[in-house]
Structure 1
Amino acid sequence: MVAAPLAAQDMDAPQRLEDLIPDSAVSDPEAWAQQGTVADPDVPADGLSEVAVETPIADLPGTDLAWPESLEIGDIDVLAPDEDIQFAEVDEGRPQIAFADAELERISDELVLGFPQKAPPFSERGDFFNRFKALSTIEQLDSDEDNVAQLAARARQDEALLNNLLHVYGYYDGEIVRSIGTREVGENTADTRPEVRFDIIPGPRYTYGTVTLGQLDTAPDYPALRDSFDINSGDFLQSDVIVQEQFDLDRALGETGYPFAAIDAPELLIDHDRLEGDLTMLVTPGGKYIFGEVISDDPEFLSSKHLAEIARFEPGDVYQRSLSLDLRRAITATGLVSSVSVTPREVTPPQGDQPGVVAMDVALQQAKLRTIAGAIGFGTEEGIRLQASWEHRNLFPPEGSLRVRGIIGTREQLAGVTFRKNNFGGRDKILTLDAYASTIDSDAYDAQTVAIRGTYERTSNLLFQKPLSWGVGAEILASDERNRIVDGIERPRQRYFIGSLFGRATIDSTDSLLDPTQGFRLGGFLGPETSRTEGQQFYYLRNQADASYYQSVGDSIVVAGRVRFASIQGADLVGIAPSRRLYGGGGGSVRGYGYQAIGPKNDLGEPIGGRSLVEASIEARIGTGFFDGAVSIVPFLDAGSVSTATVPDFGAIKLGVGVGLRYTTGFGPIRVDVGVPLNPEEDDAPVAVYVSLGQAF
């Protein structure tokens, strides 16, 4: 082995640490440490030297100037700036900025943004400005009492925010120039306010370099999936768009047959030399699948067959995540479960070009199925009312409920039993059979009725508001009726045996079932009916048409209007039971008048009902700031007419005007309306008050 020659040593080179350590300290460090240090005779033991106060300071070496005996400094004159001075432009490798020519955007009295950069243009300036204004600490804490110190502290936070926003939009070489000063306000030049100005120099905007999406290219639907992720090399970089595009890709995977797809968190690597950012987001498609069977883990409670009827997909359809979520919502809407999960499970894996098959496993947790409910209340239209019910919501599985109910009140008594089968024969279709006996004593008539009614319908609910709902049904009833007793005078009773078929349909484009703010509703009803009374048979057609429209005006006002037309064709008034005739007036009709108080009356002043009705209403629902905007004020104007003819009598229109109060809750608005009749009759009250849940229409 040949030893390497030592390198030549520079004698003037500074000593290294190992050169200062003696060999004795290396060979025996403990003995060397006991030797201590050599004392300097000119330095006291405590390390402090004594100097007499009277001793003058020796002359500094190399200094020939004598130390002045006294030194006086006069006042310094403040120099005025010379406006003729021209500063040279510094070439920093970017377009030169003329701050005096910056375009200014004032956010508030205390905050201004300057945009001095002309080229390249700040392409996202408008959106950038709006975001900063919404998030600015200075803007949020703006006050007339702010001082410069407070603004300076907030300005540091806003400067960090501006830098972050620049990075979001792909400006990684941007600069923020912050200045704080005061500005004059008003005509008095002594009145000033502190002001912060940020001059924003974004610099060049970065673009995407390479875009890597893992194994996405192995998916059979790669071209469509890649198009859903709308980020490509060369596009301008914007980091928050990555999150949105990740969501779009995830949704596309879930809606085109990839239940087991996985997407890792995106990573963005910025290269300042290339002015680019390389994006990596690893995607694992996991294979394409179609729907198989729906499997219930509690088939005696809700069977697999019933759940398959609820689902909006058939076996063999391409898997869609939204349909899986829809099935979960539909099961929740039954009201029979406290929790539910729907999970895809692989049954057959994909093979070649053939997709795999997934079963949808449904795990259920039963809710309490029996309910006892009661209510007590008072209304100007119905008097005192006590209501109670018992219900078992799944007594006849699946989804067959039985409900027993009763009402005791000053104007109504009722006992009834109802059988209801939800999702019968298809999704959201309901079969209802109802039998009841009731007594109603209203201002218009006294009726004792026994009835059986059956309906089959498709209706909207709070979870699934439908653009089209419909219902068909039949009814058989026997009713013993008379006009009310007035001043002790008994009116003759009359029995009616009635059979009816009916159908209805509603088109709904509104944005809410209980509290719409935009859209329209169109409804229609047809009911051919026959009535036998006093040995005579009568045939007639009951029909009704409703239309309502809702329009938002600004942020806090909704204008709503409605019209209604109804008629009974084919029989004289005497052949129609009083309880089947048309009446107007009340909280859901013409406010300001009593319930069923509008229309023709007999010699005793009793409303006798009619064969035609027309109504119209308009109101403005004006939001307020009270209770976080939950309270609204609602002025309204209603009009209506009832006639014994089959054509409305527009010459006998009744008008009502008033104002209402709405309090918005999670289950709809609570309504209080106070109405005044504009053309009342002798028996009409001067004011009417209505309280209910939901809007008037």
Structure 2
Amino acid sequence: MFFRVFFSLPEKKYFPVRYRSGIPIQVFFTLVLLVFLMLPALVQAIPLTVAVHGVEGEEHRNIMASIKIALQQKKTNLTLRHIRRLHKAAPEQIVKALAPFGYYSVEVKNDGSLTKDDTGWHAVYEVIPGEPVLVEQVNIKVTGPGKDEDIFQNLKKDFPLQKGERLKDTLYEKGKKNILSDALRNGYIKAGFTTSSVLVRHKEHQAEIQLTLDTGPLFFFGETTSIQDIIMPKMLHRYLPYSLGDVYSFSALNQLQTDLYATGYFSQVFVEPQYPGADNEEPVIPVKVELKPVKKNRYSFGVGYGSDTGARGNIGWKNHIINRHGHKPEFNIQVAENGSRANADYEIPIFDLRYDSVNFGTLFFDETWDDTWIKQLSISGSVNHNAPKHQYGVGLEYLHENYTVGATSGSANLLIPSSYITFIFTENRVKTEHGIRLSASLKGGDTAFLSSTSFLQARANGKIILTPWKSWRLLGRLSIGAIMMDSINELPPSLRFYAGGDHSVRGYGYKELGPEDSSGKIVGGQYLTEASIEIEREITDTWSAAAFYDLGNAYDNIDADLQVGTGLGVRMNLPFGQVRLDVACALSDADYPLRIHLTIGADL
């Protein structure tokens, strides 16, 4: 930028003003401006270290986060004058930083020291915290219509600061927050403190806490309304975790929003309490629910590879809600190297609409492995309960199966009632630190009820995950099964037990282990035992390494002859679970063959 100054001369001619040196004034100002802008770069940075002694832990951290000399010590444009000014202000800042921890008699020895050596400047502060202020009294009074409620009777006892304890601002604020939260959760949405003070007597090093809570009126749920044509109004009201006239609760509204999202019917869910205005004294809160429909049809196409299935491709269609009763149809086709399948399912919500459903399905399945071939058609119906921590259900299936096992061929028609139950104990099923999954199933058929053979099959599975040390996990798995019948040869292969494969004994092929017929072909067995132990080490947030030891087999008598597989693996941690790549050796095979296993899924 240039500056010109002109003087008016009689001849009405204008000349730029110059200094005696002959430099035009605009050039002079330009040079001054450039020097001013370059000045920070010309000033050499002064190294500075800051140390605080006499306190530790959170008190020390709060001081370092509060004193400006510590916050600015890394700046490159510090001057000696600036450092001295920051140093002079530090003692007062240290005193203020310790007050929230109950120290009100803080001294900074000699106001600290500021010295210089060959490495730079050093600010050191020796802090003498003094005697802390202790709580002498906690007085909590409750007024208002809810003062006699049970939730307000033990406020003093439950307060995080008690007599004789060091006064801490964080605990004081936490105690107040807890009281208000309890009031709000229990319908006292206008509760507030009319008195909230801490009286500190410095000389006695004592503090007195005074709180007075006015509960205000108790509020109740009013009518819940929603203008929508996605589901039937009666169905919507069955999702409500409260009834008309129940005590108002924020958590109930949050639960309603979560449950409605979980249905899969809606793309957006807005749950809005209609709080009364200042001129409305009626303690009733209506609720308005606004729902946006989800895109009904979802189509899926995919290709992939599995160690058990080989290369595969699939297409699918799912309708999230085909009518206002919440029904969901689904259809999938999968074509793979080792077999193909097509299935159709229809889900109807019942009872507790969040978790309960009636399911109807049909399945066509064609599979080949080793010297076994099966082709089956089934029609089924079931009633299921699928809560986050437990699932159970009962079903009835009609199965027609044609099969060839080794040198034997046959067909079966079975009417199979079944039941199952599963318990899951964990906070995170996708990336589990500690958790247990237990499941059991029972199914059977009888010649007296439209079945070509009689049998009863029982199976139990368990998996445990522990994190004994940081970044280390231990995983254990156990499966046992038994079939009660006269001869296993009368049962189709899909209901027999086999071992080996990605989720069984690694190092062996899919359904490679089991009893053999006279020609040496695997034909499946009446009993099953599988076990696994695995240790996993997290390398980064995304990658882990694992080592494992598996054993198991399917068998017909007490001589189980358990086969052993062991190996190493790599894990890739993704938001939906792990991608697991294992290289396993079949130790029970004299040739010690190696096999690669690839699986994807959640931990539990």
Instruction: Give me the TM-score of the superposition, normalised by structure 1.
Output: 0.67
| Equivalent residue, structure 1, for 2:563 | 654
| Aligned CA distance change for structure 1 residues 404 and 522 (closer, same or farther; 3 Å) | closer
Residues 1:207 and 1:356: Cα distance change in structure 2 (over 3 Å): same
Alignment of 1:419 onto 2:351: no
Distance across 2 between alignment mates of 1:633 and 1:139: 42
1:691 matched to 2:576: no
Range that drifts further, 362-371 or 195-204: 195-204
| Residue in structure 1 matching 2:522, options 597, 607, 610 | 607
Cα drift, residue 332 of structure 1: 1.2
Instruction: State the distance in 2 between where 1:402 and 1:231 align.
Output: 54
Secondary structure (helix, strand or coil) at the match of 1:332 reads helix
Tell me the amino acid that sits aligned with residue 688 of structure 1.
R
Counterpart CA distance in 1 for 2:328 and 2:459 is 31
Among 358, 368, 373, the residue aligned to 1:431: 358
The corresponding residue for 2:180 is: 250
Name the aligned partner's letter for residue 470 of structure 1.
Answer: Y
Contact 1:370–1:391 at 8 Å: present in 2 too? yes
Give the counterpart of 1:372 among 283, 292, 299. 299
Question: What is the Cα deviation at residue 288 of structure 1?
Answer: 0.9
Residues 429 and 458 in structure 1, CA contact (< 8 A), matched pair in contact too: yes
Cα 1:438–1:169 change in 2 (3 A) is: same
The verdict on how the C-alpha distance between 1:231 and 1:678 changes in structure 2, with shifts beyond 3 A counting, is: closer
Cα gap change, 1:366 to 1:426, in 2 (>3 Å): closer
Query: What is the Cα deviation at residue 657 of structure 1?
Result: 0.7
Q: Equivalent residue of 1:402, what SS?
A: strand
Aligned to 1:322: 251
Relative to structure 1, the CA distance from residue 170 to residue 114 in structure 2 (aligned partners, 3 Å threshold; closer, same or farther) is: closer
Summarize deviations over 1:326-384 as a string: whole Å, max 9, x none.
111111111222221223346999x99xx944443322122222111111012232111
Letter in 2 for 1:341: F
> Displacement, 1:576?
0.8
Report the secondary structure of 2:454's partner residue.
strand
Contact 1:631 1:661 in 2 (8 A): yes
User: Does the 8 Å contact 1:291/1:358 carry over to 2?
Assistant: yes
**Equivalent position to 1:644, from 549, 556, 560:** 556
Inter-partner Cα distance in structure 2 for 1:199 and 1:263: 40
Report the counterpart of residue 672 of structure 1 in structure 2: 581
Shift of 1:399: 2.5
Contact 1:587–1:696 (8 Å) recurs in 2: no
Secondary structure at the aligned position of 1:537 is classed as coil
Distance 1:586 1:136 in 2: 63
Q: How does 1:579-598 map to 2 (within 5 A)?
A: 579-598=494-513
1:158 and 1:670 mapped to 2: Cα distance? Answer: 54
After TM superposition, the structure 1 = structure 2 runs for residues 555-570 of structure 1, keeping only pairs within 5 Å, are 555-570=470-485
Instruction: Establish whether residue 296 from structure 1 lines up as the match of residue 226 from structure 2.
Output: yes
Q: Report the CA distance shift for 1:192/1:617 in structure 2 as closer, same or farther (over 3 A).
A: farther
Q: Which residue of 2 aligns with 1:525?
A: 441
- Number of the residue aligned with 1:576: 491
Q: Within 2, Cα distance between the matches of 1:659 and 1:159?
A: 59
Q: Which runs of 5 or more residues in structure 1 are unaligned?
A: 1-108, 116-124, 144-148, 184-190, 485-490
For the 8 Å contact 2:445–2:451, the answer to whether it is kept is no
Deviation at 1:655? 0.7
CA change 1:218–1:199 in 2 (3 A) is farther
> Are 2:563 and 1:634 aligned?
no
- Structure whose CA Rg is larger: 1
> Is structure 2 residue 404 aligned with structure 1 residue 482?
yes
Aligned partner (choices 103, 107, 111) of residue 175 of structure 1: 107
How far, CA to CA, are the matches of 2:283 and 2:517 in structure 1?
76
Which whole-Å deviations, capped at 9, do the CAs of 1:581-611 have from their partners, x for residues lacking one?
A: 0111111111111111112223554321111
> Distance in 2 between the 1:541 and 1:134 partners?
69
Determine which structure has greater relative contact order: mean sequence separation of CA pairs < 8 Å that are 6+ residues apart, divided by chain length: 2
CA deviations over 1:79-109 (Å, ceiling 9, x no partner): xxxxxxxxxxxxxxxxxxxxxxxxxxxxxx9
Q: How does 1:172-571 map to 2 (within 5 A)?
A: 172-177=104-109, 178=112, 198-206=125-133, 217-221=144-148, 224-225=151-152, 227-228=154-155, 230=159, 236-261=166-191, 285-298=215-228, 300-345=229-274, 356-422=283-349, 424-443=351-370, 445-460=372-387, 465-466=388-389, 468-483=390-405, 491-530=407-446, 537-571=452-486
- What amino acid does structure 1 have at the position aligned with 2:543? V
Deviation at 1:400, TM superposition (A): 1.3
Q: Aligned-pair distance for 1:500? A: 1.0
Instruction: Look up the SS of the partner of 1:373 in the other structure.
Output: strand
Alpha-carbon distance between aligned partners in 2 of 1:598 and 1:140, rounded to the nearest angstrom: 67
The aligned amino acid for 1:343 is: E
SS in 2 for 1:368: coil
How far has the Cα of 1:695 moved from its partner? 5.4
| Structure showing the higher strand proportion among its residues | 2
Amino acid at match of 1:175: E
Structure 1 residue 511: Cα displacement: 2.6
The CA distance in 1 between the partners of 2:299 and 2:454, in whole Å, is: 41
- 1:6 corresponds to: none
Q: How far off is 1:574 after superposition? A: 1.2
Percentage identity across paired residues of the two chains: 22
TM-score (norm 2): 0.77
Q: Is the 8 A contact 1:296 1:303 kept in 2?
A: no
Confirm or deny: 8 A CA contact 1:657 1:676 kept in the other structure.
yes
Cα drift, residue 193 of structure 1: 12
Between the aligned partners of 2:324 and 2:143, the Cα distance in structure 1 is 45
> Per-residue deviation at 1:162?
5.2
Q: Matched residues in 1 for 2:515 and 2:122: separation? A: 73
1:525 is aligned with what amino acid?
A: S
| CA shift in 2, pair 1:286/1:362, >3 Å | farther
Amino acid at match of 1:325: N
The whole-number CA distance in structure 2 between the counterparts of 1:265 and 1:375 is 64
| Secondary structure of residue in 1 paired with 2:321 | strand
Long gaps (5+) in structure 2: 1-48, 75-79
Distance in 2 between residues matched to 1:268 and 1:215, nearest whole Å = 17
Using the TM superposition, give the Cα deviation of residue 694 of structure 1 relative to its aligned residue in structure 2, in angstroms.
2.5
Distance 2:285 2:435 in 1: 40
SS at match of 2:308: coil
Mapped partners of 1:510, 1:688: distance in 2: 32
- In the TM superposition, residue 659 of structure 1 has moved relative to its aligned partner by 1.4
Distance change >3 Å, CA 666–CA 280, structure 1 → 2:
farther
Structure 1 residues 264 and 672: alpha-carbon distance in aligned structure 2, compared to 1, 3 A threshold: farther
Post-superposition shift, 1:164? 5.1
Structure 1 residues 223 and 583: CA distance shift in structure 2, 3 A: closer
State the Cα distance separating 1:577 from its structure 2 match: 0.4
Alpha-carbon distance between aligned partners in 2 of 1:134 and 1:642, rounded to the nearest angstrom: 64
Distance change in 2, residues 1:306/1:572 (3 Å): same
Note the C-alpha offset of 1:396. Answer: 2.5
